[in-house]
Amino acid sequence: MLDGSQRVKKSLNVAPTIYDVAVKAGVSISTVSLAFNAPERVSEETLKRIMATVDELGYVPKTEAVIRARRGVGRIGVIAPFTSFPEPFALRLKGVLNGAAGHSHEIVVFDQASAATSKLVSLPLTRRVDGLIIMSVPIDEEIAHRLTDQEIPTVMVEIPHEGFTNVLIDHVGGGRMVARHLLERGHQRFAYVGHRQEHDYPSQSLLQLEGFRSALPTPPEVRNIPYSFDAAVDEGLDLLEGPDRPTAVFAHDDLLASGILRAARELGIEVPQELAIVGFNNSDLAKAIGLTTVEQPFEESGLVAIQLLLERLSDPSATRRDVSLGVSLVARETS
């Protein structure tokens, strides 16, 4: 319900102010400002309440209102967990930069450390971008509606949303490839070491497991761990010590697979004679240690994403599209 001053402003068609947002949300003006400029410093509950008030009142920051009156700001935002997973997202960004070469738009990078979408909550209002590429970060319906309402063309990479153009990677197919590869080599006891996730969404790890499990005659033992080499070594030591240990381990990515390999060596288990190990990504690490892995098109996915976004920016009437990119198995010494 609008208070008296807000009803007067609405009747006079006066734009709401940051003060109006603060009053209705029951917070200070400085907290509203933090929600726009440093959302990670605001509690999730307070942030949702502020942004719901922003949506209800139709509030637009004054500087942003001026910018929107122009014909675009010449910037494309790229959001990804760059610092959490440096190598794959640097390659994706390389594809974006290559695709943007020769175009007038500047590429602006926003690091999103985890699947939490705090930076996306206020970005449409405050970051001055004409379009967005969101890599491997899920978005909820509230944020999707805000992006749509603010008319910011958006391309999702790897984690799709039905309201936007999507660049998809076949993680399920990659999991099936690994299962077939290991079955062909006579393995019968399997394990999957995945990345433990704090948020409920169809992550790369869950999709790989789905494909892997679907192609096996018996279900694999599943271990989900924090994303680190040391965690993978510790889990590998526990997984491989028993008499009924698996003869083949598929890991969410090459880093976790390398930890399993280290554990096997510490236990004196011969690879691949006694144990096969497969990773995912075909990173430089995989090449260095001779790891069998699944190669995914990192650079190509970034290139396709920027091409699709530029297409949409040049023709706002263009319909959303889904583009699926395949993966391939690279067999090396560990299988």
pLDDT tens string 118-142: 556 656 555 578 899 999 988 888 8
Q: What percent of the chain shows pLDDT beyond 90? A: 58
Residue 136 Ramachandran class (φ > 0 left, ψ -120 to 50 alpha, else beta) = left
Alpha carbon 35 to chain centroid, angstroms: 22
Helix (H, G, I), strand (E, B) or coil at 231: helix
**pLDDT by residue (tens digit) across 75-85?**
899 999 999 89
Where helices occur in the chain by DSSP H, the ranges are 4-11, 18-25, 29-37, 44-57, 62-68, 86-100, 118-126, 141-149, 171-184, 204-214, 229-240, 254-266, 284-289, 298-314
Does position 7 have pLDDT exceeding 60, yes or no? no
On whether the CB atoms of residues 67 and 73 are closer than 8 A, the answer is yes
Residue bearing the bigger pLDDT, 257 or 124: 257
Q: In what helix (H) or strand (E) does residue 165 lie, and over which residues does it extend?
A: strand 165-169
Alpha carbon 45 to chain centroid, angstroms: 22
C-alpha to C-alpha distance for 260 and 257, rounded to whole angstroms = 5
The verdict on pTM exceeding 0.75 is yes
C-alpha to C-alpha distance for 51 and 45, rounded to whole angstroms = 10
- Both tokens of 151, joined, read 């008319």
Does position 8 have pLDDT exceeding 90, yes or no? no
pLDDT at residue 199, as a whole number? 79
Give the dihedral sign, CA 59/62/66/71.
negative
Q: What is the mean pLDDT of residues 129-158?
A: 88
Q: What is the mean pLDDT of residues 62-77?
A: 62
Q: Poorest-confidence range of 38-52, 161-175, 227-241, 319-333?
A: 38-52
Residue bearing the bigger pLDDT, 93 or 123: 93
Residue bearing the bigger pLDDT, 334 or 58: 334
N-to-C CA span, the chain = 64
> For residue 37, which amino acid is it?
N
Domains of the chain: 4-59 (1.10.260.40), 72-169+298-327 (3.40.50.2300), 171-295 (3.40.50.2300)
